[in-house]
Amino acid sequence: SQQGEEDPQALSIQEGENATMNCSYKTSINNLQWYRQNSGRGLVHLILIRSNEREKHSGRLRVTLDTSKKSSSLLITASRAADTASYFCATLKETSGSRLTFGEGTQLTVNP
C-alpha cells in the first residue's frame, strides 16, 4: 500500500513557470527521495533529503521537509517542456533496510 499522498495529482503549467508538488507520509522516516519517471520508463533519482534536514537544492530543484507535519515539497523553478513527467516521492523508514514506500505521484505537464 502507498504510505503517502501527493498533491496535486496533475499539474499543467507554461514553460518558465515554477512547479510545486507536495508529498505527505504517515510514519517516521530515515530519508525521503524524489524521483522522475518519463512515460512508463525507469525512475530517475532526483534528490534525497534526510530526516534531520529541512531544505536541499540541486540545480533547479528545491526540496523541503517538515517532519512535524510529515510532509515534503518539490519545487522546480523555470520549468522546461523536458520536465514533463510523473514525479514520485518515496520514503525510507529507519528499520526497513532499503525498502521504499512510494506516493501516488504527480503528473506534471509543461506546455511550450
Site residues for other proteins per CB under 8 A: 2, 30-31, 33, 35, 40-45, 48, 50-52, 88, 90, 92, 96-102, 104-105
Per DSSP, what are the bridge partners of residue 75? 20, 62
Closest CB to other proteins among residues 21, 90: 90
- Residue 74, Cα to own-chain centre: how many angstroms? 5
Q: Using CA atoms, how far apart are residues 92 and 19, in angstroms rounded to an integer?
A: 24
**In angstroms, what is the minimal distance from the CB of 80 to other proteins?**
22
Toward other proteins, which CB reaches closer, 13 or 47?
Answer: 47
Torsion, CA 40, CA 45, CA 51, CA 52, rounded to 10: -160
Beta bridge pairs of residue 94: none
Nearer to other proteins, 40 or 112 (CB): 40
Min dist. Cβ of residue 53 to other proteins (A): 9
CB of 58 to other proteins, least distance (A): 12
Identify whether the C-beta of residue 98 lies closer than 8 Å to the C-beta of residue 32.
no
